[in-house]
Structure 1
Amino acid sequence: MRSVLEEIKSRLDIVEVISAYIPLSKAGQNYRGLCPFHTEKTPSFMVSPSRQIYHCFGCGSGGDVFTFLIKYENLSFQEAMDLLAKKAGVTLKRSQKDALKKGERETLLNLHRDALLFYQQSLLQSPEAIEYLRRRGINSEAQRLFSLGYAPQMADALFSHLKGKGYELETIKKAGLVSSGTKGYYDTFRHRVIFPIFDLRGEVIAFGGRVIDPKDEPKYLNSKETPIFNKGSVLYGLNLAKESMKKLKYAILTEGYFDVITPHMHGFSNTAAPLGTAFTQEHGRLIKRFVEDVVLVFDADPAGLRAAKNALGILLQCGLNVKVLSLPEGEDPDSLLRKQGKEAFGDLLSKTLPLVDFFMLQEGDTHSIARDALEVISKIPDSILQGHYVKLLSERLKINELFIREELRKMKNASKLRDTNIQRQNYTPEGLIRSRPREEIYILQLLLNFLSSDSYQPEKAERIFDSVSEEDFEDLLLRSIFKKMKNALMDYNALISECEEEERNFLTELSFKDEPSDAEKLLADCLNRLKNKKTQRLLHELQDRIKEAELKKDRELLRTIQLEQQRLLGLKRH
């Protein structure tokens, strides 16, 4: 397995792979960019072409090309390996692929595929569900495009089907497709139109259901979160909309299943929506992968205004340009398009509101409108754009621009303090390094330098391995890394692959530190310090044994221990 991983890595350039997702600029021997894993204004994400690693000095995330793809694309290791193998031109043997695809994730994906086929077949056999979709204006082409289905009214229809396909009860429960009751297990979705939820690669990972009978509750129901589904990182319809978004250079974001399907039917195929939840940072980062401009569609009621304000702040913070489409009262994209057609919706799109105009729609006094607007404006990473909106806000509200700028400054300072406190809780620059024994850190840094391809010196690494043992490391994290270094057969890339997340983050951070000017002197000092620390530990242990021997009045044992103590004291003096 390792040889396959290393062959893939050897054929790829991490800079080329990562720059396909985020812009990178040259920074000395390395490359720098804005971290895709947290929101930041100053680039702290570094990529090393010589060591084929990345590390963010803002959030602490680090790793290799596999780690990046797994985290950025939300892939399993198997999926990342398949994708990178294809990119590198490496053919995976069938047995290797089969071995990789075993496991929980693939089983859950297979189960969801089988559940989808069952729901689709059930729709064809349900005149009631087909009639409901017809009344909602959903034609057969849209049904096929969005893979719509139907969950039968029978309590355990899907459960029985999946059991018949050989799936274990625990797997079906883990997928969230059954629940337990007094009479056994019953389907989560019953007598509902089913909306399959797909990831960006077109894999079905969850389901949404809408009641057909208006007396049933709740009206909408989504799959629970599972190992393959997190609703805060998925947008409904994005798998279909992403290419149109790139082509049209903007995205339309709405609020529900029908508010995505109906626009697609009318030619607005760049439409997507969150899954019954507020917009998240992950949603913003997802959109930014495809476009820079967003039109946010919201209902013109108080709840819609609140949702739009929340989404605005997040999307702007992610560096997106956002305009707002305010719908007529009582309308949503689905109802508007069905009643008034494509031209009416297109006309509204041409009249989208800039940020400041959106806030002018809100009820309230001038002060509250200004504060609400500034709360969102403060999240814009571009200071020039911030200044533009401050000027507009001043003009529209007829408030002195200096007062608005002062209020914005206070907000930004308060926000910065909150962010700093949060960051300190999670990660601080050199947070994984600073609090650990320096000599142990230096030993690992020297080993990294000796084992990396750009300064490969295996004989010096061997010298350290011969002189230092795992027990010489007091810090458990560093001890574990040292052990893996020794087991990695002096292969730096293999080492990164073997490490757990915290170990990998530590190593990538350490890899970006400047090399010591006098490695030989530093190594000698570190070995001496480790030796003295080990001697000191042994002396403490002997002191405890002396007390025990004195309590037992064992003179012979006491004499033996004291001789060993004198020997160690002699070593310490030298």
Structure 2
Amino acid sequence: MPPLRADDAVEQVRARLNLVDVARQHVPLRKQGREWVGLCPFHQEKTPSFAVNEQKQSWFCFGCQQGGDIFDFVQRIEKVDFPAALRMLADTAGVELPERAPGERRRSELRRRLIELNELAGKYYQYVLTSLPAGEPGRQLLQQREIEDDVATRFGLGYAPGGSGLSAYLRKRSLSAADAQQAGLVRRDGLDAFQQRLVVPIRDARGSILAFTGRTVLADEQRKYINTRETEVYSKSRVLFALDLARPVIEERGHAVLMEGQFDVITGHQRGVENAVASSGTSLSEDQVRLLRRYTDELVLVFDQDSAGRQATQRATELAARHGLHVRVARLPRAAKDPDEYLRSGGSWGETLAQARPGWEHWIREEIADLSPSRPADVEVAVARIHGVLARIPEPAVAESVRQEAAIWFGIDPKLLTAPAAQRKPGRASSQRPDGPNSSPVQPAGNDPASARPQADRLSGRLAHLLQVLAVRPDAARLVAEKLPLNEIEPDDREALVRVLDALSEGGVAALRRRLPDFPPEEQNLVWRAWAAAPPRCDDELVQELIERIAQAAASRRRSAIIGRLLEAERRGDEAAVEALSREYAVALSQRQA
């Protein structure tokens, strides 16, 4: 069967999936009348204000005033764009998407098979660790690392014994040996890729296993850690270890904690640092920063205390700043080589976090730590080192603030730190800052400040009420079109009303739902809100009342405008204009009386 067109695929997803089922994977819902209600997954609240209308397949939160359909929900909950949300939902619904290139279908199918193999391998390794005598070396290692059983289960830890046990396990299920090799699970000679190693799954943000890290249990093994090579599903620079577990806590606490090693993170989660993730020993990459940027705008770095860790901290500070992330650096006591050792020895993460310094401050203080302001030669070196750091700061305003503070940190006159002209980079970063992770997925269009005004400023209250009535009573559109003088109402009101009337005339509620993504955000929210919880009254009497009041308000504004022009004409002494405007006002007044 050929793949569907894009529009057809979207409709197929809508037809096959129920928003209630999708939403309930993330938030408990209970039936209340025609709606399902629960605590909003997008903001903190104690009283349920999140409503799902199963009939309309729409949701709305009366607390944060956000709403949408199944695609909007997945975009917000998964922090992805529409194409990614469509792919996720299509996979769930079993809908084949249009292919972007001739080989894309084959690659997509291969990715599905490799992830399936990884999931099975993860279950095999876990079973060996928890249930078989062969898993005893892994259990002993976890005991040495003080990893509790529930934490091991949460992270999916397992054990790979020697031999070809996994290969045989997969072969019994008639799974492809070639695919197992491509997934990095089995060697060409038929032996398992991981031998006598504690196995740590590497999962994506949704929890799918993409790869594994194997930690040896043998004292004489030179390669302490080995990783799955890069595959069709795994690229180490695009994955953050434990992000699937950490992301709700990152959003709750407002920051992520970035560590180097996987056991740093596992120990951290066990001891309350549940917003910790790891770059898995590799330098922080652009893709990893973008991934973090979906969930937070603040990053706390806590790397190893060696020279490589210090260099990694500096690189991460600069890279994160280029993407608009605020960085703090948590310093461990020199006696602790890494977060795992520090936390297991009883170190207080709360105290360490409280003492964390901003990234640029930490960097500069390290650069000048061995210098003294009382020695002229040291001052010259310090100025050069500070300038070197300042030149890396992408935001001019931040660089200027840090420049002044750096003078205080070192104890010299700020004038000594005036940047040479060659080092100044005007306008460096304003265009590089991405949108924040908690911003609405739909942004106001255009650069006109008016486009960013709240709903109360853009649309009149009565017009907003009328739009919500029309959303649930499309049959009232004809009455509105016949009775309401569109040319006399406010421009914003008129444009919003015309959009809704045009959609309803095209094909009722179905057409309105189809066109809704193209509406301004505040109008979208009005409709989603009405679909989540209809206005208390939607009868003809209310519609007629709203029409009359909107028309009266328009006529009142028209009369006020005439009076303003009339007074201006009198001030100028323009008798002809005064006479004409007087007649115009008399007509407007007679229409009101009529």
1:350 is matched with which residue? 354
CA deviations over 1:436-494 (Å, ceiling 9, x no partner) = xxxxxxxxxxxxxxxxxxxxxxxxxxxxxxxxxxxxxxxxxxxxxxxxxxxxxxxxxxx
Within a 5 Å distance, the mapping from 1:58-77 to structure 2 comes to: none
1:216 is matched with which residue? 221
CA deviations over 1:216-246 (Å, ceiling 9, x no partner) = 1211111111111111111111111011000
1:326 is aligned to 2:336? no
Secondary structure, aligned partner of 2:191: strand
Unaligned runs of 5+ in 1: 13-64, 420-574
1:389 is matched with which residue? 402
The range that moved more, 352-361 or 125-134, is 352-361
The range that moved more, 158-167 or 190-199, is 158-167
Distance 1:407 1:202, change over 3 A: farther
Structure 1 length as normaliser, TM-score? 0.55
The range that moved more, 266-275 or 348-357, is 348-357
Equivalent residue in structure 2 for 1:5, among 7, 14, 17: 7
1:242 is aligned to 2:250? no
2:210 partner amino acid? I
Equivalent residue in structure 2 for 1:227, among 232, 240, 254: 232
Alpha carbons 1:301, 1:329 under 8 Å: kept: no
2:4 partner amino acid? R
1:327 partner amino acid? L
CA deviations over 1:489-539 (Å, ceiling 9, x no partner) = xxxxxxxxxxxxxxxxxxxxxxxxxxxxxxxxxxxxxxxxxxxxxxxxxxx
Within a 5 Å distance, the mapping from 1:35-50 to structure 2 comes to: none
Within a 5 Å distance, the mapping from 1:108-257 to structure 2 comes to: 108-124=114-130, 125=132, 126-154=135-163, 156-180=164-188, 184-257=189-262
Q: Identity across aligned pairs (percent)? A: 28
Distance 1:213 1:239, change over 3 A: same
Alpha carbons 2:111, 2:233 under 8 Å: kept: yes
2:161 partner amino acid? P
1:105 is matched with which residue? 111
Secondary structure, aligned partner of 1:150: strand
CA distance in 2, matches of 1:252, 1:239: 14
Alpha carbons 1:299, 1:326 under 8 Å: kept: no
2:218 partner amino acid? D
1:307 partner amino acid? A
CA distance in 1, matches of 2:4, 2:391: 47
Unaligned runs of 5+ in 2: 15-70, 100-104, 372-377, 433-594
Within a 5 Å distance, the mapping from 1:132-531 to structure 2 comes to: 132-154=141-163, 156-180=164-188, 184-331=189-336, 332-341=338-347, 344-354=348-358, 355-362=360-367, 374-398=387-411, 401-402=414-415, 404-407=417-420, 409-410=422-423, 412=425
1:481 is matched with which residue? none
CA distance in 2, matches of 1:177, 1:7: 34
CA distance in 2, matches of 1:241, 1:346: 17
Distance 1:376 1:198, change over 3 A: farther
Distance 1:187 1:297, change over 3 A: same
Distance 1:108 1:74, change over 3 A: farther
Q: State the Cα distance separating 1:260 from its structure 2 match.
A: 0.3
Secondary structure, aligned partner of 1:215: coil
CA distance in 1, matches of 2:421, 2:213: 41
Distance 1:249 1:103, change over 3 A: same
Alpha carbons 2:215, 2:226 under 8 Å: kept: yes
2:492 is matched with which residue? none
Distance 1:290 1:169, change over 3 A: same
Alpha carbons 1:390, 1:401 under 8 Å: kept: yes
CA distance in 2, matches of 1:199, 1:267: 22
Q: State the Cα distance separating 1:142 from its structure 2 match.
A: 0.3
Q: State the Cα distance separating 1:275 from its structure 2 match.
A: 1.6
CA deviations over 1:86-105 (Å, ceiling 9, x no partner) = 9xxxx95x5759x9897111
Alpha carbons 1:193, 1:212 under 8 Å: kept: yes
CA distance in 1, matches of 2:205, 2:257: 17
CA distance in 1, matches of 2:268, 2:216: 21
CA deviations over 1:10-63 (Å, ceiling 9, x no partner) = 999xxxxxxxxxxxxxxxxxxxxxxxxxxxxxxxxxxxxxxxxxxxxxxxxxxx
CA deviations over 1:142-186 (Å, ceiling 9, x no partner) = 0111010001122x2222222222222321121112333xxx232
1:351 partner amino acid? Q
1:147 partner amino acid? G
Alpha carbons 1:235, 1:273 under 8 Å: kept: yes
Distance 1:177 1:249, change over 3 A: same
Moved over 6 A (4+): 9-12, 72-77, 99-102, 413-416
Distance 1:304 1:11, change over 3 A: closer
CA distance in 2, matches of 1:76, 1:190: 41
Alpha carbons 1:317, 1:379 under 8 Å: kept: no
Distance 1:215 1:236, change over 3 A: same
Within a 5 Å distance, the mapping from 1:543-554 to structure 2 comes to: none
Q: Please tell me the root mean square deviation across aligned C-alpha atoms, in Å.
A: 3.6
Distance 1:95 1:309, change over 3 A: closer
CA distance in 2, matches of 1:11, 1:399: 65
